A and B are shown apart, each in its own frame.
Chain A
């Protein structure tokens, strides 16, 4: 809470002239008296213009200091050469200040009272999405239920929506969005898919027929820690927010953490890499939760994991150039799905195996699900192809979701028509 008070003070200053662009807040923990003294000496170096939020008190007590951009390199070098450990508490003070300013200026937030007044054409926060989920369930208790399949590293609930007309352990379709948190059009599309299923489950004959026999599971925010981080600190954060080593780098690539060719080329053993596979397969609770769910369910027949960007429809394998045994069938389904997608707005998609279409990738989601026997395993990369990339304008959310849904519908229908 002290952080908020200090931030408010910063905001007051910032509304005048001072800027905190590039400033970081470091947390330094001196463990010995020698280290403590070195940290105390820093207080005398006026040129560094350090702003101690929490001053040195004793060994083992954290010291929080705001560091102006020009002093970052020298200070970090000084700490590292003296073996004093630190972590980055706030990566960009100005970004946080700006956000606080906006929050304070914004008029009282009105949450939508129903999923009919929810704005599908804008991006939402985690709280707003979780509120949407509860609304959707409340409005459609006979069709939709919410499952908590686990908790994230930072203890956020992992929610899955179940669309079911009854039965017990029916064969099922799984769809997930947002496993990479910066791919915002995917979580936004997931919200739209949820509403679409509810709206169309009786009047769309394909969907009605599917739901007579199969269930649909949809995890909209598959990486909630990363997603929260993209709202508060770094819009381009991809990974989870776990800490596994003494490295100051955080996060594991959840799409390299699965037990299929784990640790192979096409993933990195460097914790600072965007494709860091993690210390071992399923180390990430976000991944583990899905693994456990899939194994316990035992009757999932299609698994679709949604990413952005690049406009691709991909099937296994990523960890080897060997074609998957069912590659011809998967290729044919992809062809139909892409044709349906393109029919709406002319959006071009390429398709093929992960390895030959995008790049070698080991430990990826659909390689594991495929090897578990879920034959119809696909990965989508949605719009665009690089003009906006991850920062896809909100106006493109609904068109993207609409065209993607046509492809999903093809896959879902095919799954129903080809039981195995």
Chain B
């Protein structure tokens, strides 16, 4: 039978990518558990895993959806991020309302938003900063996807700093310093990322 930790790592990676593609300030899909899995299937391309897992929304335990994914870790060129093909059965909960509320709030701020240590040492996230945290979490999904190997399991540990950058166009822009924790090496790795977001256009990470 496949090692449970290998399946878990692949599922964490897949969930991270899904969060990047489908997450945002109003929605935070997160891995609930791995139902079934198989792998690694080893061929010339690399190591492939087939997974069935369940996602739920961070702030809504009743929102579970089933997913399947194929994760291919490339062996030849370690600089190539893993290939992830995923299918979500059904729909993730709609975030239109939350997205637009957040969008309007930020657009109407007189001064750029600045914040630190989210969550704080005690795990608190002030309600007003929940969307900021979910947005970072979605963006972190991109970083996690790009930097994952079979020997890492990366999670967003904390947002150290976030600073809004005012734009004249319709996008929102934030500079984040995030801390990623790798369960395998136990390292805490700081990353500086610039995140663009728009309710219709989703999340974009520009390093």
Contact = CB atoms under 8 A, between A and B. Distances in A.
Interface of A: 21, 122-123, 184, 230-231, 235-236, 238, 253, 273-275, 310, 348, 350, 352, 356-359, 385-396
B119 A275 contact: no
19 contacts: A236-B158, A236-B179, A274-B186, A275-B185, A310-B183, A356-B4, A357-B5, A358-B5, A359-B5, A385-B31, A388-B119, A389-B155, A390-B157, A391-B121, A391-B123, A391-B157, A393-B119, A394-B122, A396-B123
A311 to B, nearest CB: 10
A123 B161 CA distance: 23
B4 A357 contact: yes
A392 B58 CA distance: 13
Given A348-B33, A386-B12, A275 B186 contact: yes
A238 B186 contact: yes
B123 A236 contact: no
A220 B106 CA distance: 44
Given A238-B186, A275-B186, A357-B5, A389 B121 contact: no
B30 interface: yes
A236 B12 CA distance: 21
B108 interface: no
Contacts of B179: 236
A125 to B, nearest CB: 11
Contact of B122 (A122, A236, A358, A387): A122
A391 B119 CA distance: 7
A386 B181 CA distance: 9
Interface in B132-177: 153, 155, 157-158, 161
B206 interface: no
Nearest to A311: B33
Given A122-B122, A391-B157, A236 B188 contact: yes
Secondary structure dominating the interface of A: loop
B36 to A, nearest CB: 14
Interface in B26-85: 30-31, 33, 58
B187 A274 contact: yes
A49 to B, nearest CB: 20
Given A236-B179, A275-B186, 9 more contacts: A21-B116, A273-B185, A274-B186, A275-B185, A359-B5, A386-B153, A387-B30, A389-B181, A391-B123
B186 A393 contact: no
B157 A393 contact: no
A352 to B, nearest CB: 7
Contact of A394 (B123, B184, B187): B123
Contact of B123 (A273, A359, A386, A392): A392
B200 interface: no
Contacts of B104: none
A359 B58 contact: no
A235 B188 CA distance: 11
Contacts of A385: 31
A390 B181 contact: yes
A90 B184 CA distance: 28
Contact of B161 (A21, A274, A359): A21
A330 to B, nearest CB: 16
Contacts of B184: 359
Q: Which of A275, A348, A359, A392 has the most CB of B within 10 A?
A: A359
Interface string B1-43: 0011100000010000000000000000011010000000000
Top-7 shortest CB links A-B: A393-B123, A386-B155, A274-B186, A391-B123, A391-B119, A235-B121, A236-B188
Nearest to A395: B123
A387 B155 CA distance: 8
B94 interface: no
Nearest to B9: A359
B189 to A, nearest CB: 11
Contacts of B5: 356-359
B124 interface: yes
Contacts of A352: 4
B39 to A, nearest CB: 16
A106 B199 CA distance: 40
Contacts of B12: 386
B123 A387 contact: no
Nearest to B28: A387
A348 B119 CA distance: 24
A356 B122 CA distance: 32
A389 B137 CA distance: 13
Contacts of A386: 12, 30-31, 153, 155, 183
Contacts of A231: 121
A415 B116 CA distance: 47
B185 A123 contact: no
Contacts of B31: 385-386
A235 B155 CA distance: 16
A78 to B, nearest CB: 23
Contacts of B158: 235-236, 391
A231 to B, nearest CB: 8
B123 A388 contact: yes
Contacts of A389: 155, 157, 181
A310 B158 CA distance: 17
Q: Which of A235, A352, A386, A387 has the most CB of B within 10 A?
A: A386
Nearest to B123: A393
Nearest to B181: A389
Contacts of A395: 123
B157 A123 contact: no
A16 B119 CA distance: 25
Contacts of B188: 236, 274
B66 to A, nearest CB: 16
